[in-house]
Amino acid sequence: MKVFVNKMIPETGIRMLEQEGLEVFFPEQEFLSQKKWLEYCQKADAILSVGTEFRYDRAFFTACPDLKAIALYSVGFDHVDIKEANRRNIPVGNTPDVLSKATSDVAFLLMQAVARRASFNFRKVKDGNWGAFDPLHALGQELYGKTLGIFGLGRIGFEMAKKSQKAFDMKILYHNRHRNEDAEKELNAKFVSFEELIGSSDVLSVHANFTPKHEDLFNRSVFEKMKANAIFINTARGGFHNEKDLYEALTSEQIWGAGLDVTNPEPMSEENPLLELSKVCVLPHIGSATVEARNGMAKLAAENIIAVSKGRKMPHCANPEVYSGHE
């Protein structure tokens, strides 16, 4: 079985594949054009896919009729046409759980960085602009006893809520498709409507799985309904927020600040006006960027490929319905 890995991943995952006798191959160059990427994919029985720059849509599946499986090196799978994968009986693996703590750490970090204007103040020091003590200059806000709203309280959202409650005694509101009874019992989290979530949260943190219906969900009309002291945090997918509307909400003081580990589009332009605002912190999509998380992701992705090579179900499958013949 030939496995195409489009970018280098931690050695533990590659070693697992090779120990099972799978033929692993990589691109000869670091940056691939769409055409070259497709050529490599056409040579593979399975793909271990890193990144989201290429889409697995109907045209892709048509061009790769012999493909047996895709193992994503990510939790999210919004760049894959799952319905088309199901139609062609192709399992799509992902890497849940292993990056929940690491990604929630970044959301927690962004919340504090924005609240205390950390990026802005670091830039002042770096630019030699420390200045004299001014009791009224660039004040932040404290998080103690504030309300944290979670949009999408799954594994990552739960970790973010738990950290925030223990560190700052924050009250937890959440909006989900389904209630999270564990969070309600352990964190006294309250299930609310989307309208109540955006209107009552001092910090609103996005952790849901992204789907096309979520495109620009956090837009002008939503920001207008948020509290003036609210901090918007997004570590899920950049498509959740409209960046022009976010900028206008910040500059018109409809909301207080924003922390982003994902942008719309990615990568963010260095000329994006959001980067000039003192109550904004932007990171380059580093949610899972720890040794522990990335090694764990490599292990799960390899396990998914190995299972397919042995004729078994993927243990970490984003479309388990493929095994029941669902189209």
Q: Comparing C-alpha atoms, which of 105, 104, 114 is closest to residue 246? A: 114
> In the prediction, which pLDDT does 325 show?
59
**pTM listed for this prediction:** 0.93
Q: What is the pLDDT at residue 324?
A: 87
Name the phi and psi angles at 5, rounded to 5. -110, 115
- Tell me which H or E stretch contains 69: strand 69-72
**Do the beta carbons of residue 283 and residue 260 sit within 8 Å?**
yes
Token representation of residue 64: 């790769």
Q: Which positions ≥6 away from 9 have C-beta within 8 Å?
A: 48, 50, 73, 294, 297, 298, 301
Residue 322's closest CA among 48, 49, 77?
77
**Backbone φ and ψ of 325, nearest 5°:** 80, 15
Residues of the chain with confidence (pLDDT) below 50: 326-327
pLDDT number for residue 30: 83
Catalytic residue among 117, 285, 294, 316: 285
326 catalytically annotated: no
3-state secondary structure of 232: strand
Is 224 marked active-site? no
Tell me, what's the pLDDT at 327?
42
Q: Is 18 a catalytic residue?
A: no
Structure tokens at 76: 């999210």
pLDDT digits (tens, 9 = 90+) for 45-61: 999 999 999 999 999 99
Task: Give pLDDT, residue 244.
Answer: 98
Catalytic position from the list 116, 117, 237, 316: 237
Residue 58's φ and ψ, nearest 5 degrees, are -60, -40
